Amino acid sequence: PAVGRPVVVLAEELSPATVDALGTDVEVRRCDGSDRAELLAALADADAVLIRSATSMDAEAIAAAPRLKVIARAGIGLDNVAVAEATAAGVLVVNAPTSNIVSAAEHAIALLLAVARNVAPADAALRAGRWQRARFTGVELSGKVLGIVGLGRIGSLVARRMAAFDMRVIAYDPYADAESAERAGVRLVPLDELLAHSDFITVHLPKTPETLGLIGAGAFAGMKPGVRIVNAARGGIVDEDALYAALLEGRVAGAGLDVFATEPCTASPLFALENVVATPHLGAGTAEAQEKAGTSVAASVLLALSGAPVPDA
């Protein structure tokens, strides 16, 4: 291999298209970004690092990377990147903000339908030899109120799609523009109103100090009894202890969870409840989203390494 090529560290599993898009002018090295010692060692020579959600590019990781020019998040959320520290160190942070929005919206809808129709426990029962129909009686979505918490790119896609299921869609988003929401057939309401009126709630917020624990004990107390809730955004926005209590109490009839306060999460009291369906952070887990996210950030990395300006994605 040619000497002196910039070193690009792939800290997580990325699509083959990502590696193709990086080409041969850079040296691609792999490491397991969730293994802290391995990550810090790999960063020592890195000019660029590509991550998904399992790698924490915090202040310590940035300090361990003296040559680093760019951190590329093959996805949307930047909650695992210390953006201010990176900027102070002269490291560019890039992401792929539209790459996986359709996949994330579709996964939230998959969880919504799974929760409404008990798909996961019915499947488990049948595989265990039990043909139980009455036990898994569900509810229709048609005519029900869907409350979307966070009407950004993903929340808006969910709204449009669920209108086709004849759901009545309301949303809470202090940053959303009321006119465009109305054009999309969504009524913006205060959070307490959304909680009180929704039959289904789905969360589409970034994880920030403002959103962490937003759906906690107080929020559950204000929800319509029998509500079903989906979180395919970020763990911790829906407080897991408060959700567990609300499920036990019966106030919440079911939950679909793709994200957890601490990931990977392989043990949780929530997993013992039949009315919880859980997936391991699969919102962006489609061939299409991974290809788009990877190729988009690969292009940004090459631009950044060549010193060219990186346009907003």
Residues involved in catalysis? 234, 263, 281
- Told to check if 202 binds ligand MLT by CB under 6 A, we report no
CB 236 within 8 A of CB 213: yes
Which of 284, 299, 301, 302: binder of ligand MLT (CB under 6 A)?
Answer: 284
Contact segment (CB under 6 A) with ligand MLT among 29-37, 83-91, 146-154, 278-286 equals 278-286
- Taking CB under 6 A as the binding criterion, the range among 72-80, 141-149, 266-274, 304-312 that sits at the site for ligand MLT is 72-80
Residues in the chain: 313
Q: Distance between CA 112 and CA 115 in Å, rounded?
A: 5
Rule CB under 6 A: say whether 76 interacts with ligand MLT. yes
C-beta of 313: minimal distance to ligand MLT in Å? 12
Judged by beta carbon, residue 51 or residue 148, the one nearer ligand MLT is 51
3-state SS, 208-233, equals: CCCCCCCECHHHHHCCCCCEEEEECC
Beta bridge partners of 30: 10
Tokens of 178: 């009321």
Tokens read off for 77: 């959320």
Among 6, 33, 75, 152, binds ligand MLT (CB under 6 A): 75
CB-based contact 71:95 (threshold 8 Å):
no
Computed over its alpha carbons, how large is the radius of gyration of the chain? 21
Q: Interface with ligand MLT by CB under 6 A: which range of 113-121, 176-184, 223-231, 279-287?
A: 279-287
Q: Which pair of tokens denotes residue 127? A: 């595989």
Q: From the CB of 288, what's the least distance to ligand MLT, in Å?
A: 13
Which region, judged by CB under 6 A, interacts with ligand MLT, from 75-83, 224-232, 249-257, 272-280? 75-83
With CB atoms as reference, the residue minimizing the distance to ligand MLT is 75
> Interacting stretch for ligand MLT, rule CB under 6 A, among 71-79, 108-116, 132-140, 154-162?
71-79
Does 33 bind ligand MLT (CB under 6 A)? Our answer is: no
The interface with ligand MLT within residues 81-100 (CB under 6 A) comprises 100
Report, in Å, the least distance between residue 202 CB and ligand MLT: 16
Question: The tokens 């990186």 sit on which residue?
Answer: 310
List phi, psi (to 5°) of 155.
-55, -40
Among residues 52, 69, 107, 228, the one that binds ligand MLT under rule CB under 6 A: 52
Burial (CB < 10 A; 0-12, 13-18, 19+), residue 286, is middle
Q: Closest approach of Cβ 76 to ligand MLT, in Å?
A: 4
Which tokens hold the place of 99?
A: 């790459």
Q: Does 53 bind ligand MLT (CB under 6 A)?
A: yes
Contact pick of 42, 50, 72, 77 for ligand MLT (by CB under 6 A): 77
Q: How far apart are CA 113 and CA 69, in angstroms?
A: 43
Q: Burial level of 138, CB count in 10 A (0-12/13-18/19+)?
A: middle
Structure token digits, residue 6: 């910039």
Q: Looking at beta carbons only, is 228 or 281 nearer to ligand MLT?
A: 281
Binding of ligand MLT at residue 207 (CB under 6 A)?
A: no
Binding site for ligand MLT (CB under 6 A): 52-53, 75-77, 100, 281, 283-284
